[in-house]
Amino acid sequence: MSKAGGTRMRVQVAIIGAGPSGLLLGQLLHLAGIETIILEQRSAQYVLGRIRAGVLEQGSVELLERAGVASRLHREGLVHDGIELCFLGERHRIDLAGLTDGKRVTVYGQTEVTRDLMDARAAAGAMTVYEADEVSVHDFDGDAPSVRYVRDGLEHMVRCDFIAGCDGYHGVTRQSVPAGAIRNFERVYPFGWLGVLSETPPVSDELIYVNHERGFALCSMRSRTRSRYYVQCALDERIEAWPDDRFWDEIRSRLDPAAAEALVTGPSIEKSIAPLRSFVAEPMRFGRLLLAGDAAHIVPPTGAKGLNLAASDVHYLSSALIDHYASAGSMAEIDRYSARCLSRIWKAERFSWWMTSLLHRFPDGGDFARKMQEAELDYLTGSRAAATALAENYVGLPF
């Protein structure tokens, strides 16, 4: 079928992907008077249906404030001053605020962040093409990059100054870089997380991270009436093998007696299994193509860093692009983008890997590894210095 007859247009920045990275970048650039188009392969409904993490660092909240999309977050988000670590059947609190001069995290689902950003983009009248097929990126090694996509059977072309690759881990932008120009670093963990969302009040006011002989568990929440729970599971686990009752029995068996007693169960409204992976691609800039968020890196969810890293990339990327247009096309900040991001990314990768290693049962771990975890957890909850190191990473290192 001929695809001729599509539109041709020009914008300053073409953004691939309407996840949190692409939408937040679009909003910050819009506020600076920079024109963007967002090309997203899925529908808006599909993007909003993905359930992901929900803990925002203070820096991410401040960035959302700057983007003008934080009013519902401040109304509905839950501010948390601490987390709990549970091991050997007992809970121990880490006083995040007390250990970090008052820094806190806000529990507010990624789905809600995405919805607020979509609403802001619609209100701004900025262009988003959903269900854009066969997106491809061209000539980003020169001065005149372009993007092509198919919509309703027609091929459209967008010329631009820069392409922002915000299209997630499976996206097309990173895969369009010549193999010799990029280096990937990866660790795949030998287990997954089985997650359940339920319309039930959270078991505790704060998140509980559990190290248990049956495996890791996490009690999280989305609101005072909606909970999110996870248990570590085998990679080949099938969701059909986990009716709700089995899930509730399993998580209860991993909690301390008081939490097990307090757990309110109910029908799941979402249930899924996710693998755990650490991944970084270096560099994050290839001429006029700049990667941000999951397109460039993945963290295992244990430290709740995925969305926050996407936000810090977008902070650096938006400032670099704004500087470019404000300073007669200077490339100085664009040149610094990749190194600035990666320095913060590797620290968050380290923290997420460390939290994962501390709390999960590894199939080949054995008794020695378990004793090392217990000693480290005991040290963490007994030493202010060790607890401070956890707390300052959990609330987020400075931008």
Q: Which of 17, 20, 54, 77 binds ligand PHB (CB under 6 A)?
A: 54
Is residue 192 near ligand PHB by the rule CB under 6 A? no
> Which residues have a Cβ under 8 Å from the Cβ of 315 and sit 6 or more positions away?
59, 63, 399
State the pairing for strand pair 227-233/133-138: unpaired
Task: Verify whether residue 229 is a known catalytic residue.
Answer: no
CB closer to ligand PHB, 19 vs 145: 19
- Both tokens of residue 128? 């988003």
- The residues pairing with 249 across neighbouring beta strands, listed in sequence order, are none
Is 55 among the residues that bind ligand PHB (CB under 6 A)? yes
Dihedral sign (CA 276, 281, 284, 286)? negative
State which amino acid sits at residue 120.
A
Token pair for residue 3?
Answer: 């695809």
Q: Specify whether 209 is catalytic.
A: yes
Tell me: does residue 145 bind ligand APR (CB under 6 A): no
Among residues 167 and 256, whose Cβ is nearest to ligand APR? 167
Q: From the list ligand APR, ligand PHB, none, pick the one residue 171 interacts with, judged by a Cβ distance below 5 to 8 Å according to partner type.
A: ligand APR
Q: In angstroms, rounded to a whole number, what is the distance separating the alpha carbons of residues 11 and 92?
A: 52
For ligand APR, which is the closer residue by CB, 134 or 249? 134
Q: What is the DSSP string of 301-317?
A: GGG--HHHHHHHHHHHH
* Residue 343 in tokens: 């320095």
305 a catalytic residue: yes
Stretch that binds ligand PHB, among 167-175, 298-306, 370-378, 385-393 (CB under 6 A): 298-306
Stretch (H or E) spanning 338: helix 332-359
Catalytic residue of the set 212, 297, 305, 315:
305
CA distance 278 to 260: 31
Count of CB atoms within 10 A of residue 186's CB? 10
Q: Which of 52, 72, 138, 350 binds ligand APR (CB under 6 A)?
A: 52
Catalytic annotation, pick one of 80, 156, 212, 297: 80
Does residue number 167 form part of the binding site for ligand APR (CB under 6 A)?
Answer: yes
| Minimum CB distance to ligand APR, residue 261 (Å) | 32
Instruction: Tell me which of ligand PHB, ligand APR, none is bound by residue 310, counting a contact when its beta carbon lies within the kind-specific cut-off of 5 to 8 angstroms.
Output: ligand APR
Query: How far apart, in whole angstroms, are the C-alpha atoms of residue 146 and residue 151?
Result: 16
302 binds, among ligand APR, ligand PHB, none (CB under 5 to 8 A by kind): ligand PHB
Nearest to 340 by CA among 363, 319, 361, 371: 319
Q: Note if 371 is an active site residue.
A: no
Q: Applying CB under 6 A, does 220 fall inside the site for ligand PHB? A: yes
Rounded CA-CA distance 144/164 in Å is 14
Residue with smaller CB distance to ligand APR, 50 or 371: 50
Closest distance to ligand APR from the beta carbon of 22 (Å): 6
* Residue 233 binding ligand APR, by CB under 6 A: no
CB atoms within 10 A of CB 90: 12
Active site residue 394: yes
Q: Which residues contact 131 (CB under 8 A, 6 or more apart)?
A: 40, 41, 42, 43, 151
Could you list the residues that contact ligand PHB (CB under 6 A)? Answer: 53-55, 207, 218, 220, 228, 301-304
Could you list the residues that contact ligand APR (CB under 6 A)? Answer: 16-22, 39-42, 47, 52-53, 110, 132, 135, 166-168, 170-172, 293-295, 306-307, 310
Residues with catalytic annotation? 80, 209, 301, 305, 394
